[in-house]
Amino acid sequence: MPIPPDFHFSQANLRDYLACPRRFKLRYLDRLAWPAIEAEPFIERERHLKRGALFHRLVEQKLKSIPESALTAVAVENDLADWWRAFLAFQNGLPEGKRLPEYTLTVPLGPYQLIAKYDLLIPTADGDCHIYDWKTSTYRTKTDVLRNDIQTRLYLLMAVEAGDSLHGSAATPPERLRSLPG
């Protein structure tokens, strides 16, 4: 089955393709649920994903100037409270610049589109572009694994390709990208 011309490539579907082209075909082209859901681990996994999504929303709201006290009152569950405290300690080290939380970029790739949703992009006046990715998994991924991950590579590529739209006038050369998992 050919890839439809309106298809959007993302880090998730590219990761599936790299891991298993057949799974990519079944999931994204044939639109079949894959793999089957396991019962008990799925429930805990679902809870963890919801906490991670809530953390991303809290950070986005904080970066959009919602009062910290109102957000902290929501971050009471164990993992969520830990992530929130770590972010609050980390945020003071963010560079100056326009903060773009939960920012979606699309870049053309032939007849297709690449799409990425950044947790936080900060293009700075000096021409740098800082990329942050909040990790809320149950285990800590090694830095070299993250550096070589398809998500990191795709997000860096897209920031270069869309750099002129981020800075308003000049493209972002690769050496001006700063990528850090949060």
Q: pLDDT by residue (tens digit) across 18-42?
A: 999 998 999 999 988 766 555 567 7
Query: In the block, which residue shows the tokens 């075909």?
Result: 25
In contact, 44 and 72? CB cutoff 8 Å? no
Which residues sit opposite 123 in a β-bridge?
Answer: 129
State the pTM of this model: 0.85
User: For residue 7, how many other CB atoms are within 10 A of its CB?
Assistant: 15
Domain positions in the chain: 40-93, 100-181
**Highest mean pLDDT pick, 10-14, 123-127, 137-141:** 10-14
Residue 68 has pLDDT above 60, yes or no: yes
Determine the Cα–Cα distance for residues 174 and 171; give it in Å rounded to an integer: 9
User: Is the model more confident about 44 or about 170?
Assistant: 44
Mean pLDDT value of segment 53-61: 95
Q: What percent of the chain has pLDDT over 70?
A: 91
Which residues sit opposite 120 in a β-bridge?
Answer: 101, 132
